[in-house]
Structure formats: C-alpha cells, structure tokens
Structure 1
C-alpha cells in the first residue's frame, strides 16, 4: 500500500494471509503516539440541565442527573459534585470552581437509573410535509411546512458557525434523505407527531453524535441507526466506536478544544490492547481514517486503512457467513456487518482512485458478502434477502424482476474503478484496454433503472448512495481517458491537493478521449446543483471536484471557445462547492486555493493575449466585448470567494 510509514512503528503487512497475527498491542500504541495526538484537556465539561416539573419549577425530588466530570475542588476532597458552574459546594465556600475534562471519557448515564424526563425520543421530531416541487433541484420554489417547523421547533439547537442549515435533534431514521427531510419513526417507519416543547440543552458529546448522524453518516451509512446503536451500547462496550463518531461529528461545527479531546480518545481506544478486534472496531477505524483523509492527514489515514483491512480480512468480514454468525439473529445488525465490509471496500477504492498512492488492495479479494439494501429499508428494519454480487451481475440475463439497491450500484461503480486500476499499463493504457473499461462504464450507466438514473429518489430527495455511484463513474471516465486526451493539462499543473499532476500533451483537434473527459467534468459540476448542503456529501467529493476543475481550467486556458460562457459557469460551480466544503475539510481548503490560484493565472494570461490585436482577428466587436466582460465577471466572483479560513486543526 503506502511505503511512507514512520520508522519504528510495527505495521501489519496488507498482503498477510488471513491467519497471520495482528499488530501487537505495543505496535498499536506506537502508532497512537507517533500520530502526534494532542492532549488538550482544557475544555470545560457541559452541564446537565435541572429537571423541570410540569409547572415550570425545578423539581428537587427528581433524581440528580449524571455528571460527566467533577470540579477540581470536589475531586480533591472526594466529594460528590453536582456539575453546575460554579458547583454548589464551591459557591457556598466561595471557592474557585475549575473543571478539567476527564481522560477516561464520559460513559453515558448509568444503567438501571430512574426514568429521566429529559431523555429525547424519536417522537419529539416534527413531521415533514412534501411540497409540489422537487426541493432538490436548484432554484426550485419550495416552502414546506416542515422547513418552517424546523426553524421554530428548537432554536437552542442552532450551532453558531455551522455551515449550511443547523441540524436538529436526531430522529429515528438516520439517512440523508430521511433524516433531514422526513423525520420518521425508526421502528415502524411511520410519521411522528411534532413535540412543541423545547428540549434541554445537549452536552457536547450528544451534539457531536447528532452531528455525526446528520452530516457524516449519510455518506458512509454502515453503523447502526442511532437509537439502536445507543441501546446496544448499554450492554456492549462500544466506547471506541462512539469516540470515533464524536470526533467525526465535531468536525462540522465549532466544537472548541473538545475536538482534540475526542480525537485523542478515539485513537487511544482504537489502539488499546483490550479493545476487541471485531466489526465495531473496523467501523470506528473507517470513520477515523475518512476524517483524517479529509483533514489532509493522508499518511495517517492510509496507516489506519491498512490496519482496518488487516482486521477485516482476519475476521472474514467479506464472507456471507460473517453477518449471520455475528448478527445475533438481529436483521439490522446483520445488515450493518454487510455495510461495514462494502463501505470499507468503497473507501479503499476511493482512496486509491483520488490520491493514486495505494493500489485498492481489497479489490483482489474474492468477497461473497451480501450487497446492502436500500437506506429506508435499513432504517425501518425491513431488511429483504440480500442480493449477491453474482446475482447483481446476472440480473439482465436471469430475468429476475428485482431492482438492486443504490448501495449495490455504488459498489458496482467502485468495482469498475478497480478493474481500471488493474490494466496492464496504467501509465499510458492502449486503446483496446481503454475501450474495454469504457464499455464497463457505459454499461453501468445504460442499464440503470429509471429510478437510479439521477441522484434523487422517487420522493425527489437526495439519494446519497446513487450520488456517490455517479460521482465515481464520472471520476473513472476522467482518470481513464485523460492520458489519451489532447487537452493540455499543464495550465493546471499546480492543482495537486489530491493527486500529483498528470502531464497530458495538447493536440491539434479534440479526439474522442478529450470529449469523454469534458463530458465527465461537466457531469461532476452538474452534481453541485442539487439543492442540498454540500458538506452532507462524502468528503471524497472534494477530490472529484478537483479532477473536474483541472479539466475545466485546461480548457479555459485555450483560445476563444464557442461554449466559453458555459465553461465559466462550470468553474463557478466547482469553486463555489469547494469553498463550502472548505468550512469542514482542510483538503477542500487546499484544493480551493489551488484551483482559484490557477484560475487567476489563466485570467492574467488571457488578459495579456487580449492586448495583441491579432488575437481578435475574425471576431466581431460584440464577441470581443462579451468575452472580456465575462472574464472580468468570473474573476471578480473568484476573488470574492477568497479569504476562507481553513478548518480548525485536529
């Protein structure tokens, strides 16, 4: 995989046999220490709200809430602390009340405690009312009652500095299209009544878990839905998984020093010797490596990816028997294990495709795990019989009238990337090999059912799994055809945020390969137009946007183009999307800066060319004025998009 491992760190070789042993506990601890993890413990713990009676007064008879940490004064005297700021004891003794976050991590409420009236329920969320127009199409005029209800329902949940719309409390269904728009009950899938009563203020860990399910989970939905995961956590040690989820959720809003604390806790627990090597550990590692990759910690991410692959192989997570053997006769848990394997498979392919530093190790493994079901089926617990990959491939010939899930098409799309990476001469493939892979890409597109031809489901809500499937297909087309295209890539040689520059020489005319990459680049830009928060997509969309931008910038560097105005719009869309992603992902901030820098260089080069009268030979005065005005317009917009502060460091 990656040859740049840090010296002195024991590391399991990814090609070890399934029976080989894992890294020793010392090796896992060494990786944790070598990662330079922070130990910021200056964050003040959140304080629970008092129990409020129906009359609106504080009920002193109610059981005291669980306190995640005690102040230093109470801790030194071994006295019980009520968690207030200042606490009652310090207030009565007129002492300074200071909190330091515990390194042990907050374990949640004790078991078998009295009923907590502050506990949130899925039925506390408002229902969604669908509008007549499709809310996901750019420019759609939609004013749904659900949107108004969200704004007025719980103003305390608005997080300052959070990009896009602030997230509400977690409902039962935790997929992007269901979680954000439908608010259904996780057990039955039925609409629930809105609760107009405000909820108590959440603790930071709770906010981070909600943020994880709202922002991160839709792009990588392998863990159990929230209600079921928290229920299982009462009887099973899932602290390493919850710690990873808290850190990933903290990336989407200003979580202060808690972010470093969550990261330290996640890494410590993931590499703790006593942490079970099971599917939950693989889930935690995948979450952390995705967050690290988006935060420009690509080497650390590759190290954890290699470890996660090793564990998954030793567990035989890729086998169809793993889900039933370790699913405890729970259909949701069995589905979660299938999703865990295939999401790891997809992430391995994405890392290999966008960074070109790894070789997609898992592609060569013969896996027969069942393909995941649709998101709404998983959330509601109505899990159908899983389709095998063989059944998926033979669907056209078998005549079986069964539509594969969006997740299955996502897996099939990344599998085409693996086939492309196994071409005998990937540096400069010959025409025959390129045609063979292009047949796979075209067949994937042509045989999509009508409901999967776009990234929207039948309710006109975003289908994130199909979004990624189309995204991967477009990226494959660019990676495949770019070496044989005749679009000079040298103008965009400085755009290296995701992968090294790929030199392509120019030609006298555009060939068919050039047309392929331009079409794919425009297709990627079109994906920005879905009227949903950009940060809700997988962070790998950053690098796919960068691929598209390299094509657009290379084309813009040419002389006058007939479709120049359309090209400018594509560049605007890409820069705008990268700008939004920059609020969360450092990788997007770096890519955005490079793309804008190259755009400015091209602009100044064009201005210099335009001073030469021979440049405008054959053009009308109207075309000259229009082109110069359009160039000025796009550069003014690009300059306005500058000045974005990079995300907070890990």
Structure 2
C-alpha cells in the first residue's frame, strides 16, 4: 500500500519555477541539475561514472566518462571535459562552477534511519498529492522553467516520431531558447560571493527567481492564484503552464533581468493565446495575471483585448456561479477559495480598468453572480478556509447584525467598492451639481466609510502593516469620489489637459471662489490619495499597479489647484502633496512603464504652471496685501518644488515596449 507521507513529501519537492531532476531529491539541488537525464538513463554525450567497468563495456565505449559537467556546459547540453576550469568556459570566458551529480540516485533506502541533520520536506496542511493529481497521467515531473519563442518549438526526434514542430500545448517536451540579446535565460547568474567560493550549493535559476519574485511582489495585490506553498502540488499538471509562464514574466518585472524580460513576455503571451489550452480556471487566471502586467507595461490595447477574452472565458466556464468552486475544487478548500477569488478579482480588475482608463464599460458588473465572498488573506495563505459568507450578507449586514457579528474580510469590502464604482458608471448622465443621482452615489460612498468596522477604517492590519485589500478599497473610494464630483467642481482642469497617460482629459471649465461642496470633495479625496503614499509599505511597487492612475488623478487635482491665481503664499501643503505624488510615481516607474509616462506628464504640467506663475508674480498687484517675508517665502517655495520635481532621479529599467 502506498505510503501517504512518501507521496506528500515527493510532491512538495516540486518548484514550479524549475525543471525537477528527481522527485525524491532536494528541491534546490535538483533545480541545479534540471538538464540531467532521469535516474538510470544514459545521455548520448555523457555517461554516468562507474566504479568498475567490464572489458566488454570498456570496448563498446568510444568516449571517456567524466565525473560531472560544469553548470555552463550542462545548461547548454554540451560535453564538458571536467577540468577546473573546463576548456569551453576558458574559450567563452564563462564562470566555471560544478555541482555534484545526482544521476542514478534512487532515493533513501526503505527503512533507513532518517538523518537528523537533514531538513525534511514538508507538505502544505490538509493536502495529499494523490488528492491533487487524480487526473494527471504524467509519470515524470513537468518542467516549470521551460521557455520558448514563437508559436511552436522543435520537437525532439525519437523512434516512431516525425520531425517538425510541437504545438504549445504539448507539455512533455523541455523547451529552451535564447532571448533576443543572446542570453540563455536558463543559465545561472553568479553573484560575486558565489564566484569567490564563499557560498556553496546551487543557485536559483532565472525562472525560479521570477517565480519567487511574483509571490514576493505581486501576489498580495491580486491574491487569486493559489498560495506558493500550495501551487507546488500542481507542478505535474500541464494545464497550468500558461499560468506559470504569466507569473514568471510578471515576476521578472520586479528584478533586474532586462535581457530576458521580452522573451518571457513572448512565451507567456503565446502560451495564453494558444488555442489548444484547456479552457478552465487556470487559463482564466493566466489571462488575469497577464492583463494586469500588460496594463502596467503600457500595453493597453493588448490588455483590453485579453480582458474581453477573459470575460468570455469566465462566463463560458461559469466561474461566476456558486457550484463552480465545489465542482472544480477537487475537495481541496484552498483551491475552492482560489476559484472564488478568481471571479471576484476579475470583477475588480474589470472595474479598475474601466474607472482609471474610461475606455471600457465594466461589462462584468451586469453579470449575475452568487459566488461566496473571499476570506481573509492570512486564512487563504495558510489554507485554513472558514465557512463561506455571501454578498447579500454583507450588503444587508446592518439589518442582520444580531444574527451574525463576524466581520467580513478586507477583500469583501474591496468588492463593495468595485460595485459602488459600477453603480456610478451605470448612473444616467448627471445634469448638474444638484442632480439626485449625484447625491445617491455620494450616499453609497459615505455609507461605505461609515459602516466599516473599526479594524478596517485604516488601510493597516492589527499588526500595523498595510492591508493591501483595504488599501485598494480606500483608493477606489477616493478615486470614485473625484470622478463623481470633479465635473461639478470649481477647479479648472485645463492646466492639466496634457496629463492623458491614464485617461483622456476631462474638461472642467467652471471656476470661482470660495470653493463649493463638490470642489471640497475633490480636494479632500485627492489629498487622501496622496496620504496613502505615506503608509509603511515595504515598497510602493508592492501595491497594485492601478495605484499609478489613481495617483495621476490626484495629481491633476493638485495641479489644477496650484494653477489658481488666488492660491498665493499659503499653499505649502499643496506643494508637499505634489512632491509625494511625483516621488511615488518615480518609485512605481522602476517597475511599471505606465508610471514613467504619468510621471513625465505630471512633471511637464508642473513646469508649465511654474512658468505661468512666475509671469503673473512679476506684476506688483499680485502681491498686494502680503509682507516682504511672505512674498519671498512663496517665491522660494515655488522654486524648491519645481527643482525637486524636475530633478527627482531614478533608474528606469527597460521592459516590454510593444
């Protein structure tokens, strides 16, 4: 009878970012050996070392065996002479490093006592590999760091097979290629400490680094893909390869691998678009990861095209219905939760794209859905999924609080914000500042804020860390408020008309003083968005990339106010908010080209306003009623902000351009 612990331990060794040489081997060492043949097989160029060789076998072998091959030769499937350094590395100027081979290793002997000093592989809780792979027919681990370019790849010749091309959906091949710069993306990048020999052991491959970067930097902002500890269990399933490819590309945006980034994008896009893919939830997740990444990379047209395809796929597979999670969750609670989150995050993504770009119509808002609400993030990451709650419970909680006093998850309040945005977008054209429809939407936004439980009123969790789901919820509320009130405010938006990186310019021509209520709503929301920058996040880039466009919307309000003539010497707070926004856009631009475009436009408008203010300030009557100290202070403050905004340095890394 099969030992369950053995099965679980074997499955836990898979890393979706690398080829696995041996299911029973250590995952880190196995990833370094990802190009070796399977235990017990023979390579046409390299033979396993033998302690003794018979006379007959010695006559049949025309080449001498070597103990192992260096990493550079192994990654290129080339014969290595075993020297230190080897001849090929000397000729190419490559670093020559060796890792002990595990070829022929068949795992620990049955009944052998475990080594107390060796770290044992562990499984995620409540999961057994036989439960996760009931329909998998693959007898060998699937390569998770395969990459290729083009719509097809050369197939490996074998007896009875024809040469030519293998479709993308054939996941039994190991695919490798060099990117456009000629850099082999599967080779190791040796750090100085490794080169000097101070660190021993195999290094993570590029694919592993990208995979880990995805979870470290992106997953918390759009947490629908299975947590890292659980997705390992699906490594054998070829149907998730498009998803893994998308994750690798998005993960690469956060690390310094510009030479490989375009190739990773090509691979991910082609895999997701392949017509042979199973049309399932994993393919939908792959679409969603790509959509967010492509929108942040300023590939807006392709992102919208993929969004339309994702919406069709979601309705086709009925992921918006309550039974889907049970039908396709395989009895695994964390997988069921992942499916629920997939629908709701797709709804949020659709709403965010419609809200910040104003080029789509939030199609999913009109689709009926009875999917259970997501749980808290720590519950999802641990796999301890609580009983489900539903949207009607959340929307009617003020009337049923006596029946159930449990708080809803942060993700749930984020969903409410997306739905309020949808209700605003479905409202008939608001005719003026006194239109009842405007008051109705403002009531929705105000009620959302007033009915938050105390633990959700700040975008921080109980430990003082940023709660990304509540961060996005507050971000959406403030952005919706600006979109609602800006057309009826007294801030002339024409000075910022060239800021179009996220959405077309929206003309607001009425001006006046003092400000009306709509102007104050707009200014308060823009200020609140700027203050989100000050929250103690590990990195601004760890927030959703849609924060870029919300910051841009806030900056348009600040710039419009800064351009007003009656704002004179007492606008230092406004200058500080502009500094915050530009600095945040600069930080986001290290990852997202869309942020770089927005930053450039905001800086350009700030420079134009500065020059215009200088001309107006030349007239003596501009300073009427102010003391000399106030005049000098205002001039110095304006000079300082334009100098800081214009010289805010950062090193923008190259990425996909189209």
TM-score when normalising by structure 1: 0.73
Change (3 A) 1:497 1:644: farther
Change (3 A) 1:69 1:628: farther
- Secondary structure of the 1:237 match is helix
Residue of structure 1 aligned with 2:71, choices 54, 65, 84: 84
CA contact (8 A) 2:610 2:638 kept: yes
RMSD: 3.4
Change (3 A) 1:63 1:48: closer
- Secondary structure of the 1:218 match is coil
Deviation at 1:623, TM superposition (A): 1.3
Q: What residue is the counterpart of 2:597 in the other structure?
A: 590
Q: What residue is the counterpart of 2:163 in the other structure?
A: none
Residue of structure 1 aligned with 2:552, choices 546, 559, 564: 546
Which stretch shifts more, 602-611 or 520-529?
602-611
Change (3 A) 1:231 1:113: farther
Change (3 A) 1:390 1:640: same
Change (3 A) 1:639 1:392: same
Change (3 A) 1:69 1:505: farther
Matched, 1:67 2:34: yes
CA deviation vs aligned residue, 1:292-311 (integer Å, no higher than 9, x gap): 00011000000111101101
Map residues 181-330 of structure 1 onto 2, 5 A cutoff: 200-235=202-237, 237-330=239-332
CA deviation vs aligned residue, 1:587-611 (integer Å, no higher than 9, x gap): 0000000000111111111111111
Q: What residue is the counterpart of 2:562 in the other structure?
A: 556
Whole-Å separation in 2 of the counterparts to 1:415 and 1:251: 30
Map residues 569-584 of structure 1 onto 2, 5 A cutoff: 569-584=576-591
Q: What residue is the counterpart of 1:537 in the other structure?
A: 543
Q: What residue is the counterpart of 1:42 in the other structure?
A: none
Deviation at 1:426, TM superposition (A): 6.0
Whole-Å separation in 2 of the counterparts to 1:623 and 1:122: 67
CA contact (8 A) 2:563 2:609 kept: yes
CA deviation vs aligned residue, 1:327-377 (integer Å, no higher than 9, x gap): 111110000000000000000000000000000000001111001000011
Deviation at 1:379, TM superposition (A): 1.2
Change (3 A) 1:553 1:68: farther
- Secondary structure of the 1:238 match is helix
Matched, 1:425 2:429: yes
Residue of structure 2 aligned with 1:528, choices 533, 539, 543: 533
CA deviation vs aligned residue, 1:125-157 (integer Å, no higher than 9, x gap): xxxxxxxxxxxxxxxxxxxxxxxxxxxxxxxx9
- Secondary structure of the 1:501 match is coil
Q: What residue is the counterpart of 1:438 in the other structure?
A: 442
- Secondary structure of the 1:219 match is coil
Change (3 A) 1:64 1:226: closer
CA contact (8 A) 1:67 1:82 kept: no
Whole-Å separation in 2 of the counterparts to 1:199 and 1:354: 47
Whole-Å separation in 1 of the counterparts to 2:251 and 2:472: 20
Deviation at 1:473, TM superposition (A): 0.2
Deviation at 1:439, TM superposition (A): 0.3
Whole-Å separation in 1 of the counterparts to 2:332 and 2:566: 62
Q: What residue is the counterpart of 2:633 in the other structure?
A: 626
Map residues 119-158 of structure 1 onto 2, 5 A cutoff: none
Deviation at 1:531, TM superposition (A): 2.1
Q: What residue is the counterpart of 2:370 in the other structure?
A: 368
Whole-Å separation in 1 of the counterparts to 2:623 and 2:492: 22
Change (3 A) 1:540 1:434: same
Deviation at 1:76, TM superposition (A): 12
- Which structure 2 residue ranges, 5 or more long, are not aligned? 1-16, 48-67, 93-101, 109-114, 124-187, 192-198
CA contact (8 A) 2:245 2:268 kept: yes
Deviation at 1:406, TM superposition (A): 0.2
CA deviation vs aligned residue, 1:104-134 (integer Å, no higher than 9, x gap): xxxxx99x974899999789xxxxxxxxxxx
Q: What residue is the counterpart of 1:612 in the other structure?
A: 619
Deviation at 1:268, TM superposition (A): 2.0
Change (3 A) 1:120 1:637: farther
Map residues 401-420 of structure 1 onto 2, 5 A cutoff: 401-420=405-424
Deviation at 1:642, TM superposition (A): 4.8
Whole-Å separation in 2 of the counterparts to 1:306 and 1:483: 29
Q: What residue is the counterpart of 1:457 in the other structure?
A: 461
Whole-Å separation in 2 of the counterparts to 1:119 and 1:47: 21
Q: What residue is the counterpart of 1:147 in the other structure?
A: none
Whole-Å separation in 1 of the counterparts to 2:119 and 2:241: 20
Q: What residue is the counterpart of 2:169 in the other structure?
A: none
Change (3 A) 1:608 1:401: same
Deviation at 1:441, TM superposition (A): 0.3
Which stretch shifts more, 419-428 or 200-209?
419-428
CA contact (8 A) 2:222 2:345 kept: yes
Deviation at 1:233, TM superposition (A): 1.9
CA contact (8 A) 1:118 1:199 kept: no
TM-score when normalising by structure 2: 0.73
Which stretch shifts more, 485-494 or 421-430?
421-430
Deviation at 1:506, TM superposition (A): 2.9
Q: What residue is the counterpart of 2:647 in the other structure?
A: 640
CA deviation vs aligned residue, 1:450-479 (integer Å, no higher than 9, x gap): 000011011111100000000000000000
Q: What residue is the counterpart of 1:173 in the other structure?
A: none
Change (3 A) 1:277 1:397: same
Whole-Å separation in 1 of the counterparts to 2:275 and 2:487: 46
Q: What residue is the counterpart of 2:520 in the other structure?
A: 515
Which stretch shifts more, 268-277 or 546-555?
268-277
Change (3 A) 1:86 1:68: closer
CA deviation vs aligned residue, 1:46-80 (integer Å, no higher than 9, x gap): 9999xxx9xxxxxxxx989533499xxxx997657
Q: What residue is the counterpart of 2:175 in the other structure?
A: none
Larger radius of gyration: 2
CA contact (8 A) 2:459 2:467 kept: yes
Deviation at 1:258, TM superposition (A): 2.1
Which stretch shifts more, 504-513 or 425-434?
425-434
Deviation at 1:516, TM superposition (A): 0.5
Q: What residue is the counterpart of 2:162 in the other structure?
A: none
- Secondary structure of the 2:258 match is coil
Number of residue pairs the alignment of both structures matches:
514
Whole-Å separation in 1 of the counterparts to 2:31 and 2:18: 15
CA contact (8 A) 1:48 1:203 kept: no
Deviation at 1:256, TM superposition (A): 3.1
Deviation at 1:523, TM superposition (A): 0.3
